[in-house]
Structure 1
Amino acid sequence: MQKRRRKLTQCPNCGYIFEEVNNYCPNCGQENHDLNVPVKHLVEEFLEGTLHYDAKFWVTLKYLLFKPGLLTEKFILGQRASYVPPFRLYVFISLVFFFTLAISPSAMQVDLNASDRLEQMGPEEREAMAELDSLRTSIGGAVTNESMAELLERAQSPELNSKQLREKIIKNISFMMFLLMPLFGYLLYLFYRRLQRNYVEHLMFSIHMHSFFFMLFTVYLALKFILPEHVDLFAVVLLITAVYAYLAMRRVYKQSYLKTLLTFLPLTLVYLFCLLIALLGNVAVSVLLT
């Protein structure tokens, strides 16, 4: 929708004489739009702009949820004006997600029975814990002085403020996911390097994927407020995410179903490994800094 302007003949900021086509002053950049009008007109303009943005947002949200990869495809084709910009969409959805996560009573709870769990571990679990110890250097220099077992023991310490720990973990997750988003874009760039596409295209795909993931998990967390405790839809959420990602890759990268699957599987494994390391680092650093 084109903005209806009340154009001036002269720029009030620098005195430049406008031509009819000037929507902005070529000299100072100020908008050629007279705001010295009754409040009623300003309210009408605000409502007009808000309703137009709402229409754009709902169309964007519909495509994001039900048309995997379509927003990325339209961005690559240059069809962008009718949709919310990817970064703005990601910021809005992630804010809603982290707010829901923060108020969710069952999310991000720290197990305070770490010692009991360590005693109950079998040989295979202890071996897995040893392997996690070997990854300490990958999840931050601060963790190199403590093993994962020691961190678990520290997490159940009575001196540890569980509320502060929860808040710090959630805060760090937002930063962690913001860093993982360009990383996933770079992984796409590596896996699809033969297509010779620009990194920005892969980054836009990553932004839309993470936006969908956050939206889906927001719904999941909201459902946990109303569903019985024994009903857990986490596996369903993971399945939907996997199917969505596969279909989105199929649409955006225009490869056969088999080629897409052969790229999707190793790409997912690599990203999940990076996500695991980032989550372990987040918990470890949050415990150490609380």
Structure 2
Amino acid sequence: MGQLLEVCKNCDKTYYSKYRFCPHCGQQTKDKLTVGVLFANTIKNYFSVDARFFKSFFPLLFKPGFLARKFVEGKRLLFLHPAQMYLFITVVFFFLFSFVQKKQADNLNKELAKTIKNRNDEALPINVKDSLLIEKSKIEDSLALAQVKTALTKTRRYTNLSEAEIDSITNVSQQRKGDFSFDEQKIDSLIVADASDEDIYKAMGMDNDSNWFAKRMYRQILKFYKSRQGGSVLEAFYDTIPIAMFFLLPIFALILKLLYYKKGVFANHLVFCFYFFAYLFTVFSFLIAINYLISIPAKFNFLIALSTFIYFIIALKNFYKQGWFISFFKGGITSFVFLLIVAPFTASILGFIAFFFY
């Protein structure tokens, strides 16, 4: 009888050798680890498309709020898990969007190339010697201002000048410090003269005592100025969006929690958001695919995008069980806060990160 028993490699409990799956933990008993099994399990666990997906997909599109309501009520095996559905659909969306992303990056690079060509055709002759003389005069001016400030400080009691007034007189050269602006013609002359990056940084306005942030910004600005590859920044911006969604989706759920604070715990609102954003990415995936095959009018795209707001209102009504007016009112507030405050603020941060690290 002992020969008929085996020990599970996963839970270390015994089972009859004729079993294909361990009755204690469910692991397959004769499953040898291969590359195929490794990837098959990964796809099955995270991107599985089984009967539950098809049972969930059509209600997701045509029954707003239905899936979220059923999941919260306890029907969690009949339909696809909200996080799993969201993850699967977003992978499809960003795969399709990668084609749009590449096209937009190429178009941006072409437009920048045209702008640079027109500017170079109209540019004045570059005089490297003049640029170097300008830098020399700036250094001399800085030394002169320092001497003036020292003299004024020593005679403060006779001139009745405060420290702020002395700074305003002598620190004229610092008024533009921090805006990262520079003379493009002068920088062009230094680039043509094959000057070192350190010399160009100084010509752009970077001081030796500049902090790490300022030095990094000057490096990125010069890198962009030399390459004129705006598409790289745009691609870096788009690449940060999937990561940002892991923060934006809970923020969206938090807004709903504040508006529906008596309608369950935060997890309930998060379930609603998973399904709703899965719907949004499904709609936008269809739009990308259709526009890639045949170009449709912009008005049609706008109407489809507008229909997602109507879907949102219906989903709120069905999920939270409140009237049409309350659902429309709270849906409008949620959309306003998210689209006009949270999304622009996030986009500015992502744009900065994309430029700072591209």
TM-score where L is the length of structure 1: 0.69
Alignment of 1:40-55 (within 5 A): 53-55=49-51
8 Å Cα contact 1:110/1:155 also seen in 2: no
2:14 — aligned with what?
A: 16
2:183 aligned with 1:185? no
- The one-letter code matched in structure 1 to 2:323 is S
String of CA shifts for 1:220-278, please: whole Å, max 9, x gaps: 11122123375454312321110111110010000000111111111110011201111
2:67 — aligned with what?
A: 71
**More helix by proportion, 1 or 2?**
2
2:312 aligned with 1:245? yes
- Cα distance in 2, alignment partners of residues 237 and 154 from structure 1: 42
1:92 — aligned with what?
A: 88
2:270 aligned with 1:203? yes
CA RMSD of aligned residues (A): 3.8
- The one-letter code matched in structure 2 to 1:237 is I
User: 229-238 or 213-222, which moves further after superposition?
Assistant: 229-238
2:58 — aligned with what?
A: 62
2:241 aligned with 1:173? yes
2:335 — aligned with what?
A: 268
2:351 — aligned with what?
A: 283
User: Displacement of 1:53 after TM fit?
Assistant: 4.7
2:246 aligned with 1:213? no
8 Å Cα contact 2:8/2:15 also seen in 1: no
8 Å Cα contact 2:15/2:22 also seen in 1: no
User: Displacement of 1:209 after TM fit?
Assistant: 1.1
- Cα distance in 2, alignment partners of residues 80 and 267 from structure 1: 27
8 Å Cα contact 2:89/2:282 also seen in 1: yes
- The one-letter code matched in structure 1 to 2:260 is Y
8 Å Cα contact 1:64/1:212 also seen in 2: yes
- Measured at CA, do residues 182 and 12 of structure 1 come closer, stay the same or move farther in structure 2, by a change above 3 Å? closer
- Cα distance in 2, alignment partners of residues 266 and 231 from structure 1: 26
8 Å Cα contact 1:217/1:237 also seen in 2: no
State the secondary structure of the residue aligned to 2:288.
Answer: helix
- Measured at CA, do residues 233 and 9 of structure 1 come closer, stay the same or move farther in structure 2, by a change above 3 Å? farther
State the secondary structure of the residue aligned to 1:280.
Answer: helix
- Measured at CA, do residues 17 and 239 of structure 1 come closer, stay the same or move farther in structure 2, by a change above 3 Å? closer
State the secondary structure of the residue aligned to 1:194.
Answer: coil
User: Displacement of 1:92 after TM fit?
Assistant: 0.9
- Cα distance in 1, alignment partners of residues 326 and 250 from structure 2: 23
Which one has the largest radius of gyration?
2
String of CA shifts for 1:182-221, please: whole Å, max 9, x gaps: 11011110110133x1100000111111111111111111
- Cα distance in 2, alignment partners of residues 79 and 67 from structure 1: 16
- Cα distance in 2, alignment partners of residues 90 and 154 from structure 1: 40
- Cα distance in 2, alignment partners of residues 176 and 243 from structure 1: 25
String of CA shifts for 1:60-93, please: whole Å, max 9, x gaps: 1111111111110111111111211111111111
8 Å Cα contact 1:185/1:206 also seen in 2: yes
- Cα distance in 1, alignment partners of residues 231 and 247 from structure 2: 25
Alignment of 1:13-162 (within 5 A): 13=9, 14=12, 16=14, 24=22, 26=24, 29=25, 31=27, 33-35=28-30, 53-104=49-100, 107=104, 110=108, 157=225, 159-162=227-230
- Measured at CA, do residues 158 and 200 of structure 1 come closer, stay the same or move farther in structure 2, by a change above 3 Å? same
TM-score where L is the length of structure 2: 0.57
8 Å Cα contact 1:57/1:83 also seen in 2: yes
